[in-house]
Amino acid sequence: MADKYVLAIDQGTTSSRAIIFDHSGKIVSVGQKEHEQIFPRAGWVEHNPVEVWDNVRAVVAEALSGASINHQQIAAVGITNQRETTVVWDKKTGEPVYNAIVWQDTRTAKIVDELGGGDQDKYKDRVGLPLATYFCGPKVKWILDNVEGARERAEAGDLVMGTMDTWVLWNMTGGVDGGVHVTDVTNASRTMLMDLKTLDWDADIAADMTIPMSMLPEIKSSAEVYGVGRSSGMLPDVPIAGILGDQQAATFGQACFEPGMAKNTYGTGNFMLLNTGEEIVPSKNGLLTTVCYKIGDKPAIYALEGSIAVTGSLVQWLRDNLKMISSAPEVEELAATVEDNGGAYFVPAFSGLFAPYWKSDARGALVGLTRYVNRGHIARAVLEATAYQTREVLEAMEADSGVKLAELKVDGGMTANETLMQFQADQLGVDVVRPVVAETTALGAAYAAGIATGYWQGEQDVIDNWAEDKRWTPKVDETERDRLFRNWKKAVTRTFDWVDEDVKE
Ligand SMILES: Nc1ncnc2c1ncn2[C@@H]1O[C@H](COP(=O)(O)OP(=O)(O)O)[C@@H](O)[C@H]1O
Ligand SMILES: O=P(O)(O)OC[C@H](O)CO
């Protein structure tokens, strides 16, 4: 199918991308556009869903025109997305009732505490998740409780909810004129509303969160034809046939098809997933159990996941809030002006701490400061924070699974930072390996869509197309590696119990 391509839409936290791949899995064309990060108050993070949908259309047009490809040459479309970010909209008007509440947002801390009644693991045996602000259910409840008239409209059947895959798919397939209201099992597994065994909504949990079942999208596999592009759109009648939460998509794109294979994505946040096959492995060390992917009628494949809220977004904060750099890549030049962190440790608990701590009342801390510390040391501490948090997750992953990783496959925007990648290998004591196509998130969604429509035959195509770009090998001894990590662990304790009970946002 030389003249045919697959288009992937990657609706991420920082930006939306459209990437066109050829049959060998190589990138033919890219469109990318950042959207506004909205911070109404401390701990609150929102996106404008209409801006995001407008940007998705703009980047699809950019990718098509960039390669002089027309829609007839697109065999299939795959969608991958920032997970847990939640939209509620009116299905008759297509208008959101509120901004999208982003996965980093912590406004639902009180709702989460009330739901758990002191038991953070109340739903964990069914949904694989601890009660935390990270997940969709409490965000939907917050909107119904706090947006004037929303609960009445929801109970009348006028409002629907969705993660960003569902919002994009609904608009692509017609919106108010017959848009498809669907999500896939990986995104549903991030809502705290889907039972991991039945792969269906759990009505009891939805009732606890006072969410009408009529709001919830239909749950489908990660690879099947959900619908076709609307006739008035840029991809008329093109099958949309792959949906995966972005971290699951990256796992698929990295060809992690066997139990024990893992990848770590360095994006706005960091997300390490370990394939556990058809086994649902509960975590005892602060990790999540989630659906990794489900290809059509095949059995669901599960994963253990370590989610870290703030990694690349700490670099954005250095750029946008402190104005210490003018672009993300500049952080590497600044870090290179010094040999080490000068004793400074930056724990970016901006959204509380996710894995392995799950402390929503933690807040960020920069510690170990003396007059010796300069901008270079802080830039290095910013990068090191990503590596230390990743080591904490890997240690939890190995304890839960009994798997000792021989190497770690990496991807995402931060992997362009060679200083960080070397420090990461130093901290883990294993090789860190980056593939040629670092856009593995979009690649995974493209493969799911391509497999569902016969453009590709199956996982073997993914394996055959995977190629190593660069490998970093540890260069420091265990003593030095562990000294730095001990200081990090001490720094983490300085972020605990920061938000007082009675002043939670
Ligand atoms: N050279 C770099 N060094 C450090 N961080 C970087 C670099 N390039 C990009 N980033 C960070 O990576 C993130 C973007 O990565 P990406 O995978 O596109 O994220 P997402 O999928 O979450 O939108 C941003 O938070 C940005 O600050
Ligand atoms: O947008 P990303 O790539 O940072 O991914 C965000 C995750 O899906 C949050 O769970």
Q: What is the pLDDT of residues 330-347, one digit of tens each?
A: 999 999 999 999 999 999
Specify the ligand 2 atom closest to the Cα of 269.
4
pLDDT at position 503 over 80: no
Which residue of 9, 13, 14 sits with most ligand 1 atoms within 8 Å of its CB, as the best mutation to test the pocket? 14
Residues 6+ apart with CB under 8 A from 93: 176
Which H or E element spans position 409?
Answer: strand 407-411
Tokens representing 106? 């912590």
> Could you tell me the end-to-end alpha-carbon distance of the chain, in angstroms, rounded to an integer?
54
> Is the confidence metric ipTM above 0.90 for this complex?
yes
CA of 37 to the centre of ligand 2 (A): 14
- CA pair distance 249, 185, nearest whole angstrom: 12
H-type alpha helices, 202-300: 203-208, 246-253
User: What does pLDDT average to over the chain?
Assistant: 94
CB atoms within 10 A of CB 349: 23
Question: With contact defined as beta carbons under 8 Å apart, do 359 and 131 qualify?
Answer: no
Which H or E element spans position 210?
Answer: none
pLDDT at 502: 47
Classify strands 431-435 and 468-472 as parallel, antiparallel or unpaired.
Answer: antiparallel
Question: With contact defined as beta carbons under 8 Å apart, do 84 and 162 qualify?
Answer: no
pTM of this prediction? 0.90
Is residue 403 helix, strand or coil? coil
Specify the ligand 1 atom closest to the Cα of 312.
25
The confidence band for 501, taking pLDDT boundaries of 50, 70 and 90, is low
CB atoms within 10 A of CB 120: 17
Tell me the average pLDDT across 8-13. 96
In single-letter form, the type of residue at position 184 comes to D
Instruction: Please tell me what DSSP assigns to residue 96.
Output: B
Specify the ligand 2 atom closest to the Cα of 103.
9
Question: With contact defined as beta carbons under 8 Å apart, do 345 and 381 qualify?
Answer: yes
Burial of 199 (0-12, 13-18, 19+ CB in 10 A): middle
pLDDT at 32: 96
Q: What is the pLDDT of residues 418-430, one digit of tens each?
A: 999 999 999 999 9
- CA pair distance 338, 329, nearest whole angstrom: 16
CA of 445 to the centre of ligand 2 (A): 14
Residue that has been written with the tokens 């970010």 in this structure? 85
Question: With contact defined as beta carbons under 8 Å apart, do 35 and 16 qualify?
Answer: yes
